[in-house]
């Protein structure tokens, strides 16, 4: 008789009992002169001692602004040195960092700021096609007046810009260092001493299965230990140099990247403000990096880049590929052509801080491309059937995880929290999986129809409700179809109101102006009817089949 699909990770690896600030201070004390952070596109390099000076100054500056423990401070910016500095500084003063997707447009930004009750927002001036200053000036016409009093965002007290000379109404980042002198070092130390590791330190917004994004609330204990465990599996040490081209607003960047390095004393290296294959390859070679992170699409872009053959990547030994399934040929090329013999696969979700399963450095190639590894230390995994029963090994069930990494809950949304985490503390991921006799888990599908495009999680329901706000749209259905480059692409089937018309181009442009680029449907089909079951349910699998057939010219 097959054993049940239930495993427990190693219990002999003790969890850390620290706040982020305590872990950071311990590393600074141990290796003050070692390189801590390299930000290539800003031309910045900090040793741990120098990074600590920036963090302390920022923390005291925030206290001078009146930021109290438990208050939310938002960061809306691409990868940069200030992102990392703010992450640690807010943790030191007991504030909760709200990480905002740099691709968000004004409607998404407004929702997140209002739902989280942010008191301060730190923003870049612009990123790619987004003019952050202009969007905020439209959203907050009162911004130029002090103190800020906005009807739309009543909790927001001000906006701090990373621009050298921000427009009227925006406070400059340098202001934090200028105000730091108003707060005694002893006051900061007293604030830090009053914190404990099970307090919330981060809110990350995930696309909602029922429309609006939900704020996964994570504690010091959640994310510091996850960064520690991921880094431990990789064998991270003070001698390692990790290139982080993945976005910091995701757990991949800020937890597995920043916190993994902070707790193990490794060097954090940001090659650019966003992923660029040439910048990343040059950074690996010129910085003599030992590890590299990325989603499969990033590795594919680097492997296929003409510069790769001309650069010396021999310093690499390992890294992590996550966010989507990795084709075996890609994994083989990463190992052979990028020297990443010990590259690992990690699986998780924002709500679990994020990693709950991970392959090991010595797992064979087949396990690294067909599974997402085994249960991490101090965590539990089980696969359950429709009635909640644990299924046998080899059978399909919903993946559930329990332990230190499970979030505190969704911010100000107890009902959604109760739906996601059961009474026994199990986080229900919505992913369907199979567990083998050795405890390795293979993801076989998703029971929530989530689309993963280039490492970004997109829930169709959220997009469908957004499309309904267009005056010509009567009904919308969204599905994902396979895409070689991004893993999946978004397809929207649209029924229009009688007497209304809109072109594909016009609807696409309307979306681009209002939502993040990765959520904009790649294909839009105007239809009179959707494929339905006899009971009136939309057949999304049939929509996928019909779309693929149409695109292939069948």
Lowest mean pLDDT among 212-221, 436-445, 507-516: 436-445
The Cα-based distances of 223 to 17, 65, 98, 137, 280 in angstroms read 12, 27, 14, 34, 26
CA distance 248 to 259: 11
Is residue 358 within 8 A of residue 375, CB to CB? The reply is no
H or E segment at 475? strand 473-483
> Does position 322 have pLDDT exceeding 60, yes or no?
yes
Domains of the chain: 47-195 (3.40.50.980), 453-551 (3.30.300.30)
From 287-291, 406-410, 431-435, 508-512, the region with the lowest mean pLDDT:
431-435
Indicate whether 468 pLDDT > 90.
no
User: Per residue in 490-529, pLDDT tens?
Assistant: 999 998 988 999 999 999 999 999 999 999 999 999 999 8
Q: What distances in angstroms separate CA 401 from CA 140, 377, 379, 482, one per listed residue?
A: 41, 12, 7, 28
Backbone φ and ψ for 474, nearest 5 degrees, come out as -90, -40
Per-residue pLDDT, 451 = 87
Q: What is the pLDDT of residues 158-169, one digit of tens each?
A: 999 999 999 999
* Calpha distance 188→182 (Å, rounded): 11
Residue pLDDT, tens place only, 411-426: 999 999 999 999 999 9
Give CA–CA dist 482/453, Å, rounded: 9
pLDDT value at residue 432: 85
Task: Read off the DSSP letter of residue 382.
Answer: E
The predicted pLDDT at position 328 comes to 80
What does the angle CA 95 – CA 98 – CA 102 come to, to the nearest 5 degrees?
145
- Model confidence, pTM: 0.86
Q: What stretches of 235-389 show up as alpha helix (H) in DSSP?
A: 251, 260-264, 277-287, 296-303, 328-337, 365-370
Query: Does the pLDDT value for residue 55 go beyond 50?
Result: yes
Q: Give residues with Cβ within 8 angstroms of 134, minimum separation 6.
A: none
Once rounded to an integer, what is the mean pLDDT over residues 458-467?
Answer: 82
**Model confidence pLDDT, tens digit, residues 324-355:** 667 788 899 999 999 999 999 999 999 999 99
**pLDDT-above-70 percentage for the chain:** 97
- Per the CB < 8 A criterion, the answer to whether 394 and 434 are in contact is yes
In the numeric block, the tokens 């990074």 are attached to 51
55 or 430: which leads in pLDDT: 55
Is residue 26 over pLDDT 80? Answer: yes
Q: What is the mean pLDDT of residues 113-142?
A: 96
8 Å CB contact between 291 and 240: yes
477 with 464: CB under 8 angstroms?
yes
* Sequence-distant (≥ 6) Cβ neighbours of residue 195 within 8 angstroms: 19, 21, 69, 94, 220
Contact 162, 173 (CB under 8 A): yes
Euclidean distance between CA atoms 415 and 507, whole angstroms: 34
**Confidence at residue 1, expressed as pLDDT on a 0 to 100 scale:** 57
Question: What's the pLDDT at 431?
Answer: 86
Q: How far apart are CA 154 and CA 151, in angstroms?
A: 5
Q: What is the pLDDT of residues 249-272, one digit of tens each?
A: 999 999 999 999 999 999 999 999
Mean pLDDT score, 426-441: 94
Plot region of 489 (φ>0 → left; ψ -120 to 50 → alpha; else → beta): beta
Tokens of 434: 């199979």
- Quick one: pLDDT band at residue 448, thresholds 50, 70, 90? low
Report the mean per-residue pLDDT for the chain: 93
Section 395-412 average pLDDT: 96
What does each C-alpha distance from 8 to 183, 359, 378, 379 come to in angstroms?
47, 15, 7, 6
Give me the mean pLDDT over the 277-301 stretch: 95
């Amino acid at each position: 008789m097959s054993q049940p699909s239930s495993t427990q990770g190693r219990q002999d690896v003790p969890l850390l009992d620290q706040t982020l600030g305590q872990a950071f201070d311990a590393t600074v004390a141990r290796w003050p002169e070692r390189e801590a952070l390299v930000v290539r596109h800003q031309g910045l390099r900090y040793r741990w001692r120098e990074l600590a000076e920036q963090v302390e100054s920022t923390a005291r500056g925030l206290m001078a602004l009146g930021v109290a423990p438990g208050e939310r401070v938002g960061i809306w910016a691409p990868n940069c040195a200030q992102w990392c500095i703010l992450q640690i500084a807010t943790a030191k003063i007991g504030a909760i960092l709200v990480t905002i997707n740099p691709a968000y447009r004004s409607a998404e930004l407004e929702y997140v700021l209002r739902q989280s009750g942010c008191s301060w927002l730190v923003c870049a001036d612009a990123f790619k096609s987004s003019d952050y200053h202009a969007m905020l000036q439209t959203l907050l016409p009162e911004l130029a007046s002090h103190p800020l009093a906005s009807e739309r965002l009543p909790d927001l007290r001000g906006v701090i810009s990373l621009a050298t000379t921000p427009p009227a109404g925006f406070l400059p980042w340098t202001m934090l260092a200028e105000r730091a002198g108003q707060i005694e070092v002893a006051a900061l130390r007293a604030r830090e001493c009053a914190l404990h590791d099970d307090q919330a330190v981060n809110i990350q917004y995930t696309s909602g299965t029922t429309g609006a994004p939900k704020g996964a609330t994570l504690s010091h204990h959640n994310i510091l230990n996850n960064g520690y465990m991921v880094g431990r599996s990789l064998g991270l040490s003070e001698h390692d140099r990790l290139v982080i081209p993945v976005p910091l607003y995701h757990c991949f960047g800020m937890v597995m990247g920043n916190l993994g390095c902070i707790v193990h004393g490794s060097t954090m290296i940001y090659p650019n403000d966003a992923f660029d294959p040439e910048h990343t390859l040059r950074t690996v070679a010129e910085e003599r990096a030992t590890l590299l992170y990325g989603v499969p699409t990033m590795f594919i872009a680097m492997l296929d880049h003409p510069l790769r053959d001309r650069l010396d990547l021999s310093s690499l030994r390992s890294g992590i590929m996550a966010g989507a399934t990795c084709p075996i040929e890609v994994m083989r090329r990463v190992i052979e052509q990028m020297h990443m013999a010990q590259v690992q696969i990690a699986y998780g979700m924002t709500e679990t801080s994020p990693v709950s399963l991970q392959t090991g450095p010595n797992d064979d190639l087949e396990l690294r491309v067909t599974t997402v590894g085994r249960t991490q230390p101090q965590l539990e995994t089980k696969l359950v059937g429709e009635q909640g029963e644990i299924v046998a090994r080899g059978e399909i069930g919903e993946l559930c995880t329990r332990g230190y990494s499970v979030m505190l809950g969704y911010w100000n949304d107890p009902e959604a929290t109760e739906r996601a985490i059961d009474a026994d503390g199990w986080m229900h991921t919505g992913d369907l999986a199979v567990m083998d006799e050795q405890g390795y888990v293979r993801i076989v599908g998703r029971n929530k129809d989530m689309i993963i495009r280039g490492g970004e999680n997109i829930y169709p329901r959220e997009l469908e409700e957004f499309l309904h706000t267009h005056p010509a749209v009567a009904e919308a259905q969204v599905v994902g179809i396979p895409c070689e480059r991004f893993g999946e692409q978004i397809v929207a089937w649209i029924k229009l109101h009688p007497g209304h018309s809109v072109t594909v181009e016009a609807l696409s442009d309307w979306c681009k102006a209002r939502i993040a680029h990765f959520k904009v449907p790649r294909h839009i089909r105007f239809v009179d009817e959707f494929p339905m079951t006899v009971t009136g349910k939309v057949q999304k699998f049939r929509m996928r089949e019909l779309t693929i057939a149409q695109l292939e010219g069948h």
